[in-house]
């Protein structure tokens, strides 16, 4: 794919990072569609009606190009002619997952659609980059819908990050994570296998979002006590930034970094390197 460099400011988001775009940036408002990679079939069947509803009322779709719900959203947008954006955690020449390369080519060639790479050419994805990618998905969207989520999952972190950024949130009811998010204030979309009903419910919710029926961003949170060790590690890393491999348990560190980024406490300043937010 041929790409062109774009600054964060040109994308309408804060920061000084440079991104690479193949195709076009779809027009706002944009709806982020996220969910499990190993989603149940009944939830995957909800993606098409949601994407169609968004397109019917003038919304574009944003997702992360992953397996499961993400790729279902991209394929549904192609089928329905809905403008869309794939946001990749890697360099433009390192598509992830690799077997979705042809799908990304199709999106880049579709009208008013594109593929945005969050890292420079040659950068292969690392675990920390996926959390950063999810933050970009949220930043580029007006609202987020979670199609399926487990209580401890990346989709839940993305939904909570959306709340901190003042984005409207909805969930397709039925998964364990959806119940938690509804309890936290997300709008529930009933799904009983009836595409017409889900399209209507989604259109109503998106209309309410455009009318301004959203909550303002909450006040910034202090560092939770259980993450104080991470703050010290980031500070100790200095200007170069903290890398996962600098820590004794990268897996534990990744979960902590994802939580800290959702709270706005850390940001990925460079590929795979984390610094204090703000």
Q: How much is the average pLDDT of 92-98?
A: 90
pLDDT band, residue 271 (cuts 50/70/90): low
For the chain, what percent of residues have pLDDT higher than 70? 94
Please give the pLDDT value at position 189.
Answer: 92
Please give the pLDDT value at position 217.
Answer: 43
* pLDDT at position 190 over 60: yes
Q: How much is the average pLDDT of 255-270?
A: 74
pLDDT tens digits for range 207-217: 999 987 654 44
Q: What are the two backbone dihedrals, phi and then psi, of residue 170, each rounded to the nearest 5 degrees?
A: -135, 155
Q: How much is the average pLDDT of 50-66?
A: 96
Q: How much is the average pLDDT of 237-254?
A: 79
Q: Is the alpha carbon torsion for 104, 100, 33, 272 positive or negative? A: negative
Q: How much is the average pLDDT of 71-93?
A: 96
**Of 65, 64, 63, 58, which Cα lies nearest the Cα of 81?**
58
pLDDT band, residue 20 (cuts 50/70/90): very high
Token pair in block for residue 158: 């993305």
pLDDT tens digits for range 123-149: 888 877 887 899 999 999 999 999 988
Q: Which residues of 23-45 are buried (b: 16+ CB within 10 A; e: fewer)?
A: bebbeebbbbbbbbbebeeebbb
Average pLDDT, the chain: 87
Please give the pLDDT value at position 115.
Answer: 97
Q: How much is the average pLDDT of 71-86?
A: 97
Q: How much is the average pLDDT of 180-203?
A: 90
Which H, E and C letters describe 143-172, residue by residue? EEEECCCCCCCHHHHHHHHHHHCCCEEEEE
Max mean pLDDT among 26-30, 169-173, 221-225 falls in: 26-30
**CA–CA dist 103, 242 (Å, integer):** 34
**CA–CA dist 177, 184 (Å, integer):** 11
Helix (H) or strand (E) holding 33: strand 30-34
Please give the pLDDT value at position 213.
Answer: 61
């Amino acid at each position: 794919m041929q790409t062109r460099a774009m600054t964060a400011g040109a994308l309408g988001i804060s920061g000084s990072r440079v991104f690479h775009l193949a195709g076009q940036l779809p027009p706002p408002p944009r709806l982020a569609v996220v969910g499990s990679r190993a989603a149940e079939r009944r939830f995957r069947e909800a993606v098409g009606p949601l994407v169609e509803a968004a397109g019917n009322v003038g919304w574009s779709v944003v997702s992360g190009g992953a397996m499961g719900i993400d790729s279902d959203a991209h394929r549904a947008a192609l089928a329905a002619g809905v403008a869309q954006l794939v946001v990749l955690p890697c360099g433009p020449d390192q598509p992830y997952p690799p077997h979705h390369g042809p799908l990304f080519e199709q999106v880049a060639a579709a009208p008013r659609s594109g593929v945005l790479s969050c890292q420079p050419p040659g950068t292969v994805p690392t675990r920390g980059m996926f959390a950063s990618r999810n933050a970009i998905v949220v930043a580029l969207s007006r609202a987020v819908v979670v199609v399926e989520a487990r209580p401890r999952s990346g989709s839940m972190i993305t939904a909570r990050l959306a709340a901190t950024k003042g984005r409207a949130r909805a969930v397709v009811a039925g998964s364990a994570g959806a119940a938690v998010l509804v309890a936290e204030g997300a709008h529930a979309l009933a799904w009983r296998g009836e595409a017409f009903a889900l399209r209507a419910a989604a259109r109503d919710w998106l209309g309410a979002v455009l009318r301004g029926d959203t909550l303002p961003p909450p006040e910034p949170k202090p560092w939770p006590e259980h993450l104080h060790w991470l703050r010290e590690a980031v500070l100790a890393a200095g200007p170069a930034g903290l890398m996962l491999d600098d820590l004794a348990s990268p897996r534990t560190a990744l979960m902590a970094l994802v939580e800290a980024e959702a709270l706005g406490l850390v940001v990925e300043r460079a590929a795979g390197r984390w610094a204090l937010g703000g």
